[in-house]
Amino acid sequence: MSIDQIRRGLSGFTGKMTSDESLARFTTYRLGGPAALYVEPADRDDVVELGRALAGSDDPPPILVLGRGSNLVISDEGWPGIALRLSPAFSFVEPADPGLRAGGGTALPLLANWAARRGLAGMEFTIAIPGSVGGAVRMNAGAHGSEVKDRLHSTVIFDLAGGGLTERTVADLDLSYRHSNLSESDVVLDATFELSQEEPAAVKERMEAYRKHRAETQPGAVQNAGSVFRNPPGDHAGRLVESAGLKGFRVGGARVSELHANFFIAGEGSTAQDVFDLVREVRKRVAERHGIDLKPEIRFLGAFRDQSEGMEVV
C-alpha cells in the first residue's frame, strides 16, 4: 500500500498530517531529511485510526515513532515511510497508584520536576535525560545508576502493525541495558511509575545534584544526541574513546566532544552522514586500540553510505 493510499484511508484522522515534513527539527542533532508522511495524532482515537489504515495493507510502509529525538540520527535523504510524533495531548503527568502516570510524549525533565515537587522519589535521574517517557520506556533509559525498569510499573502500548491496544507490566517488556522488546510499530501512549514518598527537599536536592553533574561533565547547548556508545561491561565508552586519543577528532562537520568523549557534536554545516562516518571511524579506532567493539546507543534511520562495518541502520 502506498503512502498516498494510507493518507486517503485516514478519513477520520483529526491531527496534523503532512507530506515531506522535515524531521530535522524533531531531533536534538537538528539533522535529517523529510518523512514521506508525517502524522501527529491529536488523541488516542487518531492512533487507532492510523492502525486501522495500516492493518489493511499487505506491504505497509516503514514506521518511525518519534519521541524527542534525543538518540536518533535520521538520514539526510529522510525517512521513506510514516513518521509519527505524539501531539501535546500526550504530554501530561498525573497522580496514580502506585505513584504517577505520564503520557508517552512527556519530557523526562518535566516528569522529574513534577514528582520532586510532590516528594515522590525515584525519577530524579530523568532530569539529566532530554528524552520523552515513550522513548525512555523503549530504550530503558538510565543515568546515575538508575534505569526506567527500576520504577516502571506498567505501560499502555498501541501496536500500529497489529492494531492492538494492550497494557503491559514491566515484566512483559524484557527490559535490560538500553533494551526492550518493543517493535518499531509499538507506540507508548502512557506509563505508570511506582515511586516512594520522601520529603520534597530531599528529592529536590538529589535531583539538583544530578542536574549540576550533567552541566559540569556533558556538553549542553550544542547539537548532540547524548551518549553515543553503550558502556561495555566493566568499563566506560567515554574512557575508551578518550584513551584512544579521539577527543576533538572530526569527520566533516561532526566531532568528538572535548568535554566528554562519548558525546559527539554536530557543528555548523554538518550532515547526518558526517555523524554516521564519525561514529563508524571512532568505533573502528577503539577496536584497533583496545580490542573492544563499542555498540552505538544512538539509532541511525534511513539510507547511509558505507554500511559495511556492522553499523546497524533501521
Is the per-residue pLDDT at 17 higher than 70? yes
- By the 10 Å C-beta count (0-12 exposed, 13-18 middle, 19+ buried), 265 is classed as buried
111-119 own/partner pairs: CB under 8 Å, 24+ apart: 112/207, 113/207, 115/195, 115/203, 116/200, 116/203, 116/204, 116/207, 117/200, 117/204, 118/200, 119/197, 119/198, 119/199, 119/200, 119/203
Q: Output 9 or 271, whichever has higher pLDDT.
A: 271
**250 and 257 Cβ atoms separated by less than 8 Å:** no
Q: Give the CATH number of the domain where residue 9 resides.
A: 3.30.43.10
pLDDT at 58: 75
Tell me the per-residue pLDDT of 292-312, one tens digit each, with 9 for 90 and over: 999 999 999 999 997 755 566
39 pLDDT higher than 80? yes
Mean pLDDT of 207-220: 87
Q: The domain that contains 250 carries what CATH number?
A: 3.90.78.10
Contacts 24+ apart (CB under 8 A), 213-221: 213/128, 213/144, 214/127, 214/128, 217/259, 217/260, 218/259, 218/260, 218/263, 219/257, 219/259, 219/260, 219/263, 219/265
pLDDT of residue 312: 62
CATH code of the domain in which 110 resides? 3.30.465.10
Region 68-82: what's the mean pLDDT?
A: 94
Are 27 and 130 in a shared domain? no
DSSP 8-state secondary structure symbol assigned to residue 59: S
Q: Is residue 267 part of a domain?
A: yes
Residues 113 and 210 in one domain: yes
On whether the CB atoms of residues 143 and 129 are closer than 8 A, the answer is yes
- Look at residue 215 in the predicted model and tell me its pLDDT: 84
Q: Is the pLDDT of residue 97 over 90?
A: no
Kindly state whether residues 107 and 206 are assigned to the same domain.
yes
- What average pLDDT does the segment 216-221 reach? 76
Note down the domain range covering 112: 91-216
Domain boundary, last residue among 30, 64, 88: 88
pLDDT tens digits for range 76-85? 999 999 999 9
Query: What average pLDDT score do residues 43-71 get?
Result: 90
19-29 pLDDT tens trace: 999 999 999 99
User: Is a pLDDT exceeding 90 seen at residue 99?
Assistant: yes
Question: What pLDDT was estimated at residue 2?
Answer: 84
Average pLDDT over residues 275-289: 96
Query: How many domains does the chain fold into?
Result: 3
In a domain? residue 222: no
Q: Is residue 268 part of a domain?
A: yes
What is the model's pTM?
0.90
Confidence of residue 104 (pLDDT cuts 50, 70, 90): very high
- Tell me the pLDDT of the chain averaged across its residues: 93
Q: 3-state class of 295 per DSSP?
A: coil
In the numeric block, which cell numbers belong to residue 132? 520523552
% of residues, the chain, pLDDT over 90 = 80
Question: Which residues belong to the active site?
Answer: 178, 227, 297
pLDDT at position 311 is 63
Same domain for 70 and 96? no
Do 69 and 84 share a structural domain?
yes
64/99 same-domain check: no
3-state secondary structure of 147: strand
Both 41 and 125 in a single domain? no
Question: Does one domain contain both 98 and 209?
Answer: yes
Same domain, 122 and 12: no
State the pLDDT at residue 101: 98
Q: With 90 as the cut, is the pLDDT of residue 224 above it? A: no
Contact 211, 161 (CB under 8 A): no
Residue-wise pLDDT for 123-178, tens only, equals 999 998 889 999 999 999 999 899 999 999 999 999 998 878 999 999 999 999 98
Last residue of a domain, one of 88, 117, 136: 88
C-alpha to C-alpha distance for 301 and 75, rounded to whole angstroms: 6
C-alpha cell at 185: 510499530
Q: Are residues 276 and 188 in the same domain?
A: no
